[in-house]
Amino acid sequence: MAAGGPPAAETTASRREGSAKLIVSDQISQAVQSTSNLLQLILPRNLLAKISAIKNTEQVMEQLSRVISTLDAYKYNGLQSVPHLKIVARLLENMESSQLKPLYRHFLQDLELADHPS
């Protein structure tokens, strides 16, 4: 046995472990490279050019959700106002009919006068 050095069995085990790690590392590297090659074949060539369009679409979708929420809130508020709008509509109808009644009476009187001249 040599003084100061590791036993021969330990050195052999270390070499085997290092060799196994190297083989696994190599296989992982090959798998990554194969996946990369496959993706390049599958994905469109101009994918990088489409990234900005994808990001724009993402922004539009985010804005669209906010717009929909805002519209829902307006719709809800509008529905809460319906009873008040009905009251306003009735008041306007009453005002209109009360203003038109004298005009209608005057119109009828004019017609009677036209039909029965003195």
User: What would you report as the CA-atom Rg of the chain, rounded to the nearest whole angstrom?
Assistant: 44
pLDDT band at 108 (very low <50, low <70, confident <90, very high): confident
Q: Which domain holds residue 32?
A: 1-43
Question: How large a percentage of the chain has pLDDT more than 70?
Answer: 89
d(CA 65, CA 72): 11
The mean pLDDT value of the chain amounts to 82
> What pLDDT is attached to residue 104?
75
* SS3 state at 3: coil
> What pLDDT is attached to residue 47?
73
Quick check: 37 and 31 in contact, CB under 8 A? no
Q: Which amino acid is at 113?
A: L
The contacts of residue 14 (CB under 8 Å, 6+ apart) are 6
The contacts of residue 44 (CB under 8 Å, 6+ apart) are 50
Let me know whether 37 and 59 are in one domain.
no
* Mean pLDDT (whole number) for 57-65: 92
The residue that leads in pLDDT, 13 or 82, is: 82
Residue 1 pLDDT > 50, yes or no?
no
Let me know whether 57 and 102 are in one domain.
yes
Let me know whether 100 and 63 are in one domain.
yes
pTM of the model: 0.34
> What pLDDT is attached to residue 56?
92
d(CA 117, CA 113): 6
Structural tokens at position 27: 């296989």
Let me know whether 88 and 113 are in one domain.
yes
